[in-house]
Structure 1
Amino acid sequence: MSWAEPTGVLIVQHLPHEGPYAIGTALEAAGLPVRVCRVWAGDQVPESPDGLAALVVMGGPMAAYDDASAFPTRAAELALLRAALAAEVPVLGVCLGAQLLAVAAGGTARPGDGPQIGWGAVRTTSAAPADPLFAAAPERLRVLHRHGDTMDLPPDATLLASCDRYPAQAFRIGGSAWGLQFHLEVDKDAVDAFATAFPDEAATAPDLQDSTPAELAALAPHRDGIFERFAAHVASRAARTTTRAFFTSRAATWEEHFAADGPRYAAAVTRMELLPGQRAMDMGCGTGLALPALRTEVGPKGAVLGVDLTPAMLTAAAHEGRASLAHLLVADACRLPLPTGSLDGIFSAGLIDHVPDSAAALREWARVTAPGGVLLLFHRSGRAERAARHGRPLDPDDLLAEENLRPALNATGWDLLCHEDAAHHFLARAVRVD
């Protein structure tokens, strides 16, 4: 199975004039590809966040609480938002998008007591200075409003900005999802487009266009800073995000697809030649197919650690009873929260040729392994078998080819002792050298 290739940032757009504006500018400046799902033109909302580095959901006149014909994509958007939250894909929701985000996270959207249109102030909360996006925002921010609905946030949301009439103005869900009830993204083109598209609403704020140049001049530094920080947040974790999104959607059924491989994993683990009482880790353990064998090898006095980047995979591992065999830990392969030399062996199946920086991963694995410790790289199929399955020739640059793997291991603290690229399995055994 191939991992999803990153496809950049998806922007869900409900109306032509509800564009990303300053959001899109910041994303493109950060080198992030942007793809627009124009639901107003009939584009289909994706069923999962596979391949997404981030999800942005824009505003619109629809109601986040109404599945009526005026908002036929509501259910699909909520499903995509829930999947993005589960996989910790960075999310930004604006106006309607913020209300949908609140609903997806367990809150509610509802009608307000009337429209809030035009420039108006919001106050940042005491939580804002510690927020990754709002840390540099002033205590009082004048922003453009255009909404009549409001929302009740889920209990675990962090309120970041408020006003007296509609208190939920900006919020964060978890560590990577933000909702903005107001239109922070606007520039002069956005205001003009709003006034053209909704002349009756614009007429309720007669000074809207006259005051826009001054309001935008005051807002622009804060607007741009917030979106630049969002873009930097997305870019810094894009590879991690796409990996988590891919595996989160598959975690619940992973075991049923690969449980039959348990004996093959167990046979590979015995090749590590671990001793009772030693300390072993399965790096990229998934649902933990190798954990029973690792526990058998090191015995009750040994220590077994199962590490994966995707929390949903570890949840599935625990469901299979493997939390009783090993300590399960969410961590990045290149940044392990372990002391130097704390392991005697590392088992890793199908991971090293997929991490963004294989050299950094191998160095980190060497750091946490004691001299003389073993690294065993395994795959349930050989390189030729995998290439044929995907309809491609063997890649001469494949890290797992012996002529590439040996120098890569030598350069990162390992000595390759065994390399088997067989018809139905791949196995490489290396030892940690000083």
Structure 2
Amino acid sequence: MIQIVEHTAAESPSAVAAALAATGLPVRVCRVWAGERVPDTVDGMVALVVLDGPPGAPAAQLALLRAALDAEVPVLGVGTGARLLALAADGGAGSYAPSDGAAPQGALHDHADHTDHAPAPHDEGGVRVLRIGPSAWGVRRHPVHPVPYADGVYGRFAALVADRAERTTTRAFFTRRAATWDERFTDDGPRYAAAAHRMELRSGQRALDVGCGTGRVLPALRDQVGPAGVVAGVDLTPAMLTAAARQGRGAQGHLLLADACRLPLRTGAVDGVFSAGLLNHLPDPRRALREWARVTAPLGVLLLFHPSGHAERAARHGRPLAPDDPLTEGNLLPALRATGWRTACYEDAPHHFLLRAVRTAD
């Protein structure tokens, strides 16, 4: 959902709303001028747009903008919204770039791919674009030119939002929960460790936890591969990796910020991949399995785990297993075969889900 915050009745979303509507994503407008309350969290948001309005620094808007910046939710501030964005970033290193109806060179890149530097401050067509961080942009209009010529910037922003929608939702959900994640699931630790040991890795081998969260399984992987081995944990949410580091789990392995479907590893880099509670939440499970096979050496192992049984979880939530559920045996095993894996074990028990597969030799 794209959240728009509207401060005055006169300042409607207009051009930016049209660009965002073209993404096909749902749009929700908070009309502050009509007494509507600004959301407390960014849960469920794929973008946040704060429009122009009267001067001031409303605490609720600043808190929401800070939460969006922390979770790397794409943010667009217009007029006063751009000023609030800068305040929310606490005077962060924003830089100005010219816009003539199209985003400036280097604008609106995913941070993992961004290499360009914004040009020097410049004003053209009555529009200036303020960049703060990897995905936050403010459009500041010159008072002499009340009509915004920022349609190109809005279009680029909308394209960014659409491209990142899935990962934005994930980051927004986990960022707010990262600090207390281990406290909420303290009883699961030994079960994760027991599952990891079923990978049967050997001393000196290389292990990867995809979707590692707070890194709770990294010590168990380190136990198997020993000091001569290599352990790494990958997660999409920076706050989760920060929580892992605070727990001292960075000492057990490398912590990497990356997409599970685009791992920053060479082909055949690891001997085993562990992943808990992730595959069925990815938009393209086969793409993920293929990527995990790419980074795994022949005869390496994949272990998928969840501390609750797959069928049991569906029953607990009062729903049957969907025919297209990627973790059902009839769907998962063919997907594994098609992506370079041979299934060795499939368990959907009342108290855990576990699959062990072996990377086929090329």
Identify which of 77, 94, 102 aligns with 2:78. 94
Give the Cα separation in 1 of the matches to 2:122 and 2:10.
30
Matched, 1:11 2:4: yes
Give the Cα separation in 1 of the matches to 2:131 and 2:97.
15
Identify which of 253, 256, 272 aligns with 2:183. 256
The code of the aligned residue for 1:302 comes to G
Matches within 5 A, 1:22-171: 22-64=15-57, 74-107=58-91, 124=98, 128-132=104-108, 140-143=123-126, 161=128, 170-171=129-130
Give the Cα separation in 1 of the matches to 2:218 and 2:125.
55
**What is the TM-score of this pair, normalised by structure 1?**
0.76
Larger radius of gyration between Structure 1 and Structure 2: 1
Give the Cα separation in 2 of the matches to 1:243 and 1:293.
26
SS of equivalent residue, structure 1 residue 394: coil
The code of the aligned residue for 1:59 comes to D
SS of equivalent residue, structure 2 residue 73: coil
Structure 1 runs (4+) greater than 4 angstroms displaced = 133-136
CA RMSD of aligned residues (A): 2.5
Give the Cα separation in 2 of the matches to 1:79 and 1:239.
23
Cα distance, 1:382 vs. partner?
A: 0.4
Give the Cα separation in 1 of the matches to 2:186 and 2:263.
27
Alpha carbons of structure 1 residues 398 and 130: separation in structure 2 relative to 1, 3 Å: closer
Q: Which residue of 2 aligns with 1:172?
A: 131
Matches within 5 A, 1:365-380: 365-380=292-307
Q: Which residue of 1 aligns with 2:310?
A: 383
Q: Is the 8 A contact 2:207 2:270 kept in 1?
A: yes
Give the Cα separation in 2 of the matches to 1:322 and 1:132.
33
Which runs of no fewer than 5 residues in structure 2 stay unpaired? 110-116
Cα distance, 1:31 vs. partner?
A: 2.1
Cα distance, 1:258 vs. partner?
A: 1.5
Matched, 1:319 2:246: yes
Q: Is the 8 A contact 2:97 2:118 kept in 1?
A: no
Give the Cα separation in 1 of the matches to 2:286 and 2:311.
23
Deviations 1:297-332 (A, max 9, x none): 001100000100001000000111100000000000
Give the Cα separation in 2 of the matches to 1:53 and 1:364.
25
Q: Is the 8 A contact 1:272 1:345 kept in 2?
A: yes
Q: Is the 8 A contact 2:4 2:51 kept in 1?
A: yes
Give the Cα separation in 1 of the matches to 2:264 and 2:203.
24
Which runs of no fewer than 5 residues in structure 1 stay unpaired? 1-7, 65-73, 109-121, 145-160, 162-169, 184-201
Cα distance, 1:139 vs. partner?
A: 5.8
Matched, 1:182 2:156: no
Q: Which residue of 1 aligns with 2:114?
A: none
SS of equivalent residue, structure 1 residue 234: helix
Q: Is the 8 A contact 1:85 1:177 kept in 2?
A: yes
Give the Cα separation in 1 of the matches to 2:105 and 2:355.
49
Deviations 1:92-120 (A, max 9, x none): 01111111111110039xxxxxxxxxxxx
Give the Cα separation in 2 of the matches to 1:324 and 1:135.
37
SS of equivalent residue, structure 1 residue 141: coil
SS of equivalent residue, structure 2 residue 279: coil
Give the Cα separation in 2 of the matches to 1:299 and 1:177.
42
Matched, 1:226 2:153: yes
Q: Which residue of 2 aligns with 1:152?
A: none
Identity of aligned residues (%): 64
